Amino acid sequence: MRKVMSQKLHLSEKQISEIQFDTKSRDDIPQLLMGLQYIYVTNDTRDKVFKILETMIPEKVDVKNGRPGMYLWRIFVLGTLRLNLNWDYDRLHEMANNHKTIRQILGHGVPDDGYIYRLQTIKDNVHLLSSEILDRINQIVVKTGHTLCKKKKKS
């Protein structure tokens, strides 16, 4: 069964909205993660993105039966990192398992909960993000960015 994201927090987990970033970092990872965080905490944008992500579940998959698949949010985060940072699957695998802030945005706690992503699981799930799905999500993100810029100009 695919879920967008788990609604239950474990003791060591933070809300995605509470993740703090080094805003002075010049690296591209924190900047990208802040963008993902903004998508997640902006209800209208998040709902639209999740609705699109739900369309990537293959038709033959019964979402009410079987073992749980990777959360759609995690697929989206991993796919976004891979494409925007031009990472191969090996780099994505390493970062998903060992980078503290990436693990937080994926929904894992700081004291690691022991969940390890398998390389093949990442490949099998991230490839579901087709160019058509990414294009639809990109249109929503761009509109959100334009709205955000308009708000800043009025302030």
Flag the least confident range among 2-11, 17-26, 91-100, 132-141: 2-11
pTM score: 0.84
Query: Which pLDDT value is given to residue 69?
Result: 72
Note whether 3 and 66 are within 8 A (CB).
no
Sign of CA dihedral 36, 96, 62, 5: negative
Q: pLDDT tens across 72-113, in order?
A: 999 999 999 999 999 999 999 999 999 999 999 999 876 656
**What's the mean pLDDT in 140-148?**
89
CB distance 68 to 2 below 8 Å: yes
Q: For residue 144, give the 3-state DSSP assignment.
A: helix
Which residues touch 82 (CB under 8 Å, ≥6 apart)? 88, 89, 92, 126
Cα angle 93, 94, 96 (rounded to 5 degrees) comes to 65
pLDDT for 58: 76
Q: What rounded mean pLDDT belongs to the chain?
A: 85
